Amino acid sequence: MEQFVNLTITDKTDVYSFGMVLFEVVSGKKYMSLITEEEFPIEEKVDPKIKGKIAPESWQVFIDIMQECLKYEVDERPTMGEVEYTTIIEELCHRFSLADIRKSTDNFDHKRLIGYGGFDIGVYKGCLQHDGSDYTVTIKRFKADGPQRWNLFKNEIELLCQLRDPNCITLIGFCSHKKEKILVYEYMSNGSLHRHLQHGDLSWKKRLEICIGAARGLHYLHSGAKRTIIHCDFSSKSILLNDDMEPKLADFSFCRQGAPSLSKPKPIKVDCVTSTSCFIAQEYSRDGTITDKCDVYSFGWVLKEVVFGTGYLIEEVPGRPVEDIIDKNIKRNIAPECWRVIVDIIQRCVQYNPHERPTMGEVELELEHALSLQERADIANTNGDYTLFSKTIIKTCNGEEDSV
């Protein structure tokens, strides 16, 4: 349109033309031959030869794309990448209408808001009908405008459509309507591990079990999918708990895909750090180098929170035995044999040199071993509480003393 009005040509001129082609495809008539007519329901212009063969769901997607492409304002039209992508993801997971999403959240009522993500992402609790049943769901709304928002939305939906693991959150569907980009997940009723650590309401064994589940999830990302997937934003906030207090990994917006999982891992270089976690490996924050060992480093810091509580950084003093800052809610429940394994795992995970960190598969096995030692000790223990007599001072890789 702008090509004739003010002789301006951009890539969005082609998008407009593509919308006209879509109209011809569905109506069998030239769009320009009808544009001078009064407003009419597009359904009245559908080619009779195909009218009875179009599924309502498919029609809604098609008409949304066409209308977006034919916007008068250039900036309101999608890119061709967005046009192509919307048709592809429609085949991978269910598409909800914006009306469904608004209804499920009472029009994004503040009372339905259950959290915030990075980059102004709102997280809501909603109720949607899917496959004939009503589901309580989590709705993630990417509110910020611009390419960053689209990239986060696109990245997360691409990855979650690939994942099939009980320790990773399940994507139910999505909504892409004009500037609204929304993802719909299964609802995790017990919130994040971070919240429970703040409240101090988890037993030591339950913390171990949750860590094992989270380790399995990361191990799957690193070696169980077709390509290595690096989370890049792992923290206790990205470990969510279901009705049975079983953990699932979430927050995949910043994930990166690496080499095929059976091939030799190769570092990924990025121009800038995109993460909301404060537990970022030094090589990532320093020069933008990402490997699976970045997630291992972050996992080590999550183990610190699990053992010492979310406020442990305030109490941490170089040279102070780590036993002095163990969360008082669990300190007397940790068997010495189990404790020695946990301290070793933490120390290895947070090594400065990524090559000295274990794989998540090794971490998973060691945590299972630690839980086994704890359970055996509990059977033999007749005194109730445990006492940790060790005074552990952990040295960092540069030789300086550190309390883990």
| CA proximity to 78, closest of 61, 102, 93, 91 | 61
Residue ranges covered by each domain of the chain: 2-92, 94-186, 193-402
The pLDDT assigned to 358 comes to: 97
Question: Highest-confidence range of 177-181, 315-319, 378-382, by mean pLDDT?
Answer: 378-382
What class is the 193-402 domain? mainly alpha
Of residues 368 and 393, which shows the higher confidence score?
368
Of residues 5 and 60, which shows the higher confidence score?
60
Catalytic residue among 47, 100, 131, 233: 233
The pLDDT assigned to 8 comes to: 75
- 2-92 matches 94-186 in fold: no
The whole-number average pLDDT for the span 289-294 is: 92
Quick one: how far is CA 108 from the chain centroid? 21
What is the model's pTM?
Answer: 0.80
What residues contact 121, with CB distance under 8 A and at least 6 apart?
140, 141, 142, 143, 144, 152, 253
**b/e for 375-403, b at 16 or more Cβ within 10 A?**
eeeeeeeeeeebebeeebeeeeeeeeebb
Give the mean pLDDT of the chain.
85
**b/e for 125-164, b at 16 or more Cβ within 10 A?**
bbebeeeeeeeebbbbbbbeeeeebbebbbbbbbbbeebe
Q: What percent of the chain has pLDDT over 70?
A: 84
Q: Does residue 6 have a pLDDT over 80?
A: no
233 is catalytic: yes
The whole-number average pLDDT for the span 208-222 is: 97
| CA proximity to 170, closest of 156, 181, 153, 182 | 156
Q: Is the CB of residue 75 less than 8 Å from the CB of residue 178? A: no
pLDDT tens-digit series, residues 69-122 = 888 888 878 888 777 766 666 667 888 889 999 999 999 999 999 988 766 789
Provide the CATH topology of domain 94-186: Phosphorylase Kinase; domain 1 (3.30.200)
Which has the minimum average pLDDT: 38-42, 80-84, 275-279? 275-279
Q: What percent of the chain has pLDDT over 90?
A: 46
Q: Does residue 32 have a pLDDT over 70?
A: no
| CA proximity to 274, closest of 313, 232, 246 | 232
Cα-only R_g, the chain: 26
The CATH code for residues 2-92 is 1.10.510.10
The pLDDT assigned to 302 comes to: 95
User: Residue 404: which pLDDT band, with cuts at 50, 70 and 90?
Assistant: very low
Count CB-CB contacts under 10 A for residue 237: 19
